[in-house]
Amino acid sequence: MRQTIVTLILFFGLTTSLFGQRHRVTMLTKGRDFSFPIFRNATSPRAATRINQLLQLSELNKLITRSNRGAFEQAEVNDDSIYGGKVWMKTAIHSNSRRVLSIGFEESSCGMTCTYWHRYYNFNPANGDRIDLRDLFTNAGFEEFSKAVAKRRSAKYRREVRQKVEREYQEFYLDTIGCFRNDNLTDYYIRSREIVIDGENCLVKGQKFDGLDMIVRFKLGDFRNYLNAYGRIIFGLSNGPIAKFRSDRLPQLFVGSINGSFPIAMVLNREFGTGLRGMYAYLKFGEGIGLRGNETEAGAKITEYVLSPATEMKAYGPVRTYKENAQISGFLKDGTFEGTWSSRDGSSTFPLRVSKE
């Protein structure tokens, strides 16, 4: 009996050292319309912090302070864009294991009109990196898996349209299949030994209320031969320390400082080829600062935008617009962005450096 207990203790210790512990979750809410997770992990506190910061900058447009007060305020601001501010955000935790953390959000925003979307984040729970689905496959394996996904999604969608859409509109709905063929498969989550792909974001607004089931599921046997070493550990086919696997695909969290003395956290993502978009915040203040720019061989040039403190009343409600505030230039290379922050009028210039750690 004693030997059994010792064996169990040694096994638990080995498992913890390889994979860490599950993250504890506190769910912040605002009425019935908003929910958002905060993660804590005693054995991997830095990983939990990185996950929290990426999610908060990406979804709340800010960093939450210790008090958690006003967590949703900046996301709710109508910035006078066509879709305004968020009016709905519901969280689902799809996996919270020692191997993977998968989170999904159902969201809506309204301004001049409304839009609705789903968004997913998958994390390495030991180091806090966001996991791109391509990180888990060999290059050839991901190409084969993508073909299988497009085929299964197209077949299911055709069935859904035939069953749930009036005949006269079916041809129009089937144009959505083109989205499946060009999808980069970011709308996914992992549950146990399944990969679940969500096609909701391929639908235009008018198609989202017809009860079309846009979910397709792939069991481990469908893709196990396509996985790389990282993927084999994530899905329990191999053992090993997952913290050593890092992702260089954006979006990711970067941390560092401006002028070496003002700590910041930043999320950067690519859009439309050479475009860059993101959000950052000073750790001391928390308010999100928007980023938008482009990257060329000569480096990145990014404009930063801050919310105007003034509120303007319009026919569709109060608005606070983002105003150009400064310019950032530099180079993004090997998980580090290094360059210069310059005030809008050019009177102040400071070095800026952030990295994935």
Tens of each residue's pLDDT in the chain, 357 residues: 444 433 333 333 434 344 456 899 999 999 999 999 999 999 999 999 999 999 999 999 999 987 777 999 999 999 999 999 999 999 999 999 999 999 999 999 999 999 999 999 999 999 999 999 999 999 999 999 999 999 999 999 999 999 999 999 999 999 999 999 889 999 999 999 999 999 999 999 999 999 999 999 999 999 999 999 999 999 999 999 999 999 989 999 999 999 999 999 999 999 988 999 999 999 999 999 999 999 999 999 999 999 999 999 988 889 999 999 999 999 999 999 999 999 999 999 999 999 997
- State the first-to-last Cα distance of the chain, in angstroms, to the nearest integer: 45
Amino acid at residue number 8: L
Greatest alpha-carbon span in the chain: 74
Q: In the prediction, which pLDDT does 21 show?
A: 61
Q: In the prediction, which pLDDT does 20 show?
A: 53
Q: In the prediction, which pLDDT does 314 show?
A: 87
Among 272, 288, 280, residue whose Cα is nearest residue 320: 288
Tokens of 24: 């504890």
Q: In the prediction, which pLDDT does 4 show?
A: 40
What are the backbone angles phi and psi of residue 193, rounded to the nearest 5°? Answer: -110, 35
Q: In the prediction, which pLDDT does 337 show?
A: 97
Q: How many CA atoms, within 13 angstroms, populate the side-chain half-sphere of residue 176? A: 25
What are the backbone angles phi and psi of residue 239, rounded to the nearest 5°? Answer: -110, 155
Q: In the prediction, which pLDDT does 19 show?
A: 47
E strand or H helix at 53: helix 45-55
Q: In the prediction, which pLDDT does 316 show?
A: 80
Q: In the prediction, which pLDDT does 12 show?
A: 37
